[in-house]
Amino acid sequence: MRHPTARKRELIVREGATLSDHVVPTGQRSSAVATGRPRVLVIGGKLEHVRKARELGLDVVHAQFPDEYDRGHWPYVDQALLLDYGDTDRLLPLAQALHEAYPFQAAVSLFELGLLPTARINEALGLGGESVATVELLLDKWRMRRHLAAKGISPVASAVGRSAQDVREFVQAHGLPIIVKPIRESGSLGVFCIRDRADVDVVAERFRSLDDGHWAAKDLSCADSFDEFLIEEFLDGPETSVETLTFDGRHVVVAVTDKECVGPGFVEIGHSQPSGCSAETLRDVTRLVTDFLDAVGLRNGPGHTEVKLTSRGPRIVESHNRIGGDRINELAEIAYGVDMERYALGARFGVVEPLTTSPEPRGGAAVRFLTPEAGRVVEVSGVDAVRADPAFVDLQLGVEPGDEVRPLTWNEDKVGHVIARGATATEAIAHGRRLAAAIHVRTEPVA
């Protein structure tokens, strides 16, 4: 609860409460009702998202997990709904009641788990935004594959399976290698590549073992994410992602991000902008992604579409109506001068000017993720020298002595990152690798 000397009143509804019984007023009366400023409901995301919304001149209602909301939010948030916002059946009536008392003009989310609740709230309240159908299509990879196949876009052999036998039948029909992954979820969670028939049973068992009950509500898009899996043909070649902003159905490519992936789960350990692909490849990728966004019905807001550059041409891996994670927005700010988060938050309110064309690069930017050996951290060094380097932009390190580093199986196992700039992407990549190598996280085996 905010200290009573806070300058303005904040309304907080905690999980399990009703709006009428458990609104918690603190401090002086809020000016939110009388300002006349546009009001946005921001669902989930980071502290910087509500800060940017406030800086754009918006009043902010924020739906957030209780343990992720603290006094750092207070200067930027007028009303807060503190609950598991992925539970739309609980969130929607609270949002409706709050909307009646303190109307907001749009709900927005920049976080995977908030995308579908956002669409459902906008639809229920008649606020526009992306349709529930479009968001569901992007979240459900099997539905997306079938939709693309029906339109003749980016053909990829795929099927849904529940057992090792289903995998064997797919291999019989399409050969090896293949990919097994969740139908929903992101961040390389539960992604397996099968290159040998002898691994079919092992992978099927490992996928089932993911459903071990240790996941928190905020970790998964669905409680039943591991009941079924998507089986796909393996797409060869390097991977990129296409970062877009869409304005009333008009798609603008902000950046193409080159990726470096490692391990059987294809965990991303490095990104860079601008892309080093040829002009011809970039034209093909851009054409594919804009056709894809038209096909799924994306009308407004950000898009992050992953593409494999295969020997048969570019193919869609998956897509999201949000900004890419893993610091991609920071790279776009450095390389292109575009803060996609501000567009995502403010475009519908007319407080940012829509882009008319793709921006020209101003330089290079790269992020390199820190992936020390698994074990218990005994020493961390090199931080001060990295921060003093001329190429340094940002460093985040999430471990200290005594913490445990897990084996690298998905994005959440990475322990930090370093962002570097350069005159070109090649130079930025070299700086990023050099700075990451200078951060020493020494571990020892866990007994």
| Window from 27-31, 151-155, 290-294, 297-301 with minimum mean pLDDT | 27-31
User: What confidence score (pLDDT) does residue 266 get?
Assistant: 83
User: What confidence score (pLDDT) does residue 186 get?
Assistant: 56
Class for the domain spanning 245-360: alpha beta
**Is the pLDDT higher at 8 or at 178?**
178
CATH (residue range 157-233): 3.30.1490.20
User: What confidence score (pLDDT) does residue 24 get?
Assistant: 34
Q: Is the pLDDT of residue 279 over 90?
A: yes
How are the residues of the chain apportioned to helix, strand and coil, as percentages rounded to the nearest 5? 35, 25, 40
Q: Is the pLDDT of residue 205 over 50?
A: yes
CB 324 within 8 A of CB 243: yes
Once rounded to an integer, what is the mean pLDDT over residues 171-200? 86
User: Taking all residues of the chain, what is their mean pLDDT, rounded to a whole number?
Assistant: 89
User: What confidence score (pLDDT) does residue 189 get?
Assistant: 73
Cis peptide before 390 (omega within 30 of 0): no
pLDDT band at 31 (very low <50, low <70, confident <90, very high): very low
**Is the pLDDT higher at 253 or at 446?**
253
User: What confidence score (pLDDT) does residue 213 get?
Assistant: 54
User: What confidence score (pLDDT) does residue 206 get?
Assistant: 79
Tell me if 39-129 shares its fold with 245-360: no
Q: In whole angstroms, what is the distance from residue 296 CA to residue 299 CA? A: 9
| 436, amino acid identity | A
What percent of the chain stands above pLDDT 70? 87
Once rounded to an integer, what is the mean pLDDT over residues 310-320? 96
Class for the domain spanning 39-129: alpha beta
Once rounded to an integer, what is the mean pLDDT over residues 35-49? 93
Once rounded to an integer, what is the mean pLDDT over residues 53-63? 97
Neighbour tally for 252: CB within 10 Å: 19
What residue ranges do the domains of the chain occupy? 39-129, 157-233, 245-360, 363-446
User: What confidence score (pLDDT) does residue 20 get?
Assistant: 41
pLDDT band at 191 (very low <50, low <70, confident <90, very high): confident
CB 171 within 8 A of CB 197: yes
pLDDT band at 300 (very low <50, low <70, confident <90, very high): very high
φ and ψ of 396, to 5 deg = -130, 130
Residues whose CB is less than 8 angstroms from the CB of residue 21 and which lie 6 or more positions away in sequence, other chains included: none
Model pLDDT for residues 379-430, shown as the tens digit of each residue: 999 999 999 999 999 999 999 999 999 998 877 889 999 999 999 999 999 9
Q: Is the pLDDT of residue 14 over 80?
A: no
Q: Is the pLDDT of residue 62 over 80?
A: yes
The CATH T-level fold of domain 363-446 is D-amino Acid Aminotransferase; Chain A, domain 1 (3.30.470)
**Counts of helices then strands in the chain (DSSP H, E):** 13, 20
What percent of the chain stands above pLDDT 90? 78
Model pLDDT for residues 161-172, shown as the tens digit of each residue: 989 999 999 999
pLDDT band at 262 (very low <50, low <70, confident <90, very high): confident
User: What confidence score (pLDDT) does residue 219 get?
Assistant: 55
Q: Is the pLDDT of residue 36 over 90?
A: no
Once rounded to an integer, what is the mean pLDDT over residues 326-336? 97
